[in-house]
Structure 1
């Protein structure tokens, strides 16, 4: 059995009220709920939030359940994974069912497609790791053209390879996490409440579907890209 969570905080410093701001005809968070519901993959689609307005709206976009996010899990410094685990546990208590595969769709990453969700879940179920993340190929490579500042003010390539890398194409492939889709094995999520395990794998997505809304600029980019989509 599979569960999909969408965890949505009421507050945001970078873009105040971003999850309720309308983009392409829906509040930002609503796109992730619709995608989960339309994917046909999930036995439960659950929205977790500290916002009464978000919890009230969630079923109108296809959520089968809502979970009130505890205040201590909704602060600016609180991690997201404990809130996901909390939503899974609360839903299991409500439904009396245990979910083998736990998926989370980030509410601020609406550019993913339903095929991305299906592809990530299929990859996870074929490989059976503890977790899966999504990402796009990095624009800068730490073996070639990503540098870091050293204590003395000089800079150097972030990762020194065993052999000199003369072309970016010869460097190991690196990815930017886009935070769009996370998948866990139930026990790994509930017991450890972390993203990375030795077995973690990555599902690659293109850059044009990998923007996460964390600033007004990001919101403008997402709004423009979604205005060109026909699958919403």
Structure 2
């Protein structure tokens, strides 16, 4: 299976985060190494517009391919458009046979090989169209509110107050793992009636977007040592 690691150069929350050193190693390296250690994955491709990210990807074992256009690496660019572009070029120019693939975000450095293998195993077992990693939400989603411009509170859900134990548990996507059939992505969708959730722990679900996230991931890694 092909592993696709999308890593654009621009980042507003934490500039240069994809190659920022985390415990002495570029952030993206953790995802590349985890992918290469999975028996299900045969090739790893870093999809980026940034030459520094690209070269670091090669250093840690990613395939030599191409840079994506800047228009597919902007704040308002759609990830699915990049997947379709990258997969099309890999199929037509590099001869890749892609019926299914996995997307691994580099901002999830605590995601384990066991998680990757578990998600792919679930995908194969169910003959799924997609499997997406999720984390259990500890608070009922109906507790969430909108904040008005004047600081007031506005309801999102029409729901009376209950004890937390009375609510049905919910999950949220953690951004770590996406396993897809190529045909699903080519149709412009992430989900179908044959999509499934792979549940990860809160610690392995850390998604780095800000310096606080980065420092928390660093703390957890150091503690694990």
Q: Secondary structure at the match of 2:203?
A: helix
In the alignment, is the contact (CA less than 8 A) between 1:148 and 1:158 conserved in 2?
Answer: no
Unaligned stretches of 5+ residues in structure 1: none
**What are the Cα deviations for residues 167-195 of structure 1, in whole angstroms up to 9, with x where unaligned?**
32332221121100011111001221x32
In the alignment, is the contact (CA less than 8 A) between 2:36 and 2:42 conserved in 1?
Answer: no
Q: State the Cα distance separating 1:32 from its structure 2 match.
A: 0.7
Q: 2:167 aligns with which of 160, 166, 171?
A: 171
What TM-score, normalized by structure 2, do the two folds share?
A: 0.90
Distance 1:168 1:43 in 2: 44
Q: State the Cα distance separating 1:82 from its structure 2 match.
A: 1.6
Unaligned stretches of 5+ residues in structure 2: none
Q: 1:187 aligns with which of 174, 179, 183?
A: 183
Q: State the Cα distance separating 1:92 from its structure 2 match.
A: 1.8
Instruction: Name the residue aligned to 1:222.
Output: 217
CA RMSD across the alignment: 2.2
Instruction: Name the residue aligned to 2:40.
Output: 41
Q: State the Cα distance separating 1:86 from its structure 2 match.
A: 2.0
Where does 1:87-126 land on structure 2 (aligned, <5 Å)? 87-126=86-125
What TM-score, normalized by structure 1, do the two folds share?
A: 0.87
**1:74–1:157 distance in 2 versus 1, CA, 3 Å:** closer
In the alignment, is the contact (CA less than 8 A) between 1:133 and 1:202 conserved in 2?
Answer: yes
Where does 1:4-43 land on structure 2 (aligned, <5 Å)? 4-43=3-42
Instruction: Name the residue aligned to 2:193.
Output: 198
Q: State the Cα distance separating 1:135 from its structure 2 match.
A: 1.4
Distance 1:59 1:157 in 2: 46
Q: State the Cα distance separating 1:30 from its structure 2 match.
A: 1.3
User: How many pairs were matched up?
Assistant: 224
After superposing the two structures, state which structure 1 stretch, 25-34 or 90-99, moved more. 90-99
Distance 1:181 1:64 in 2: 20
Distance 2:118 2:165 in 1: 26
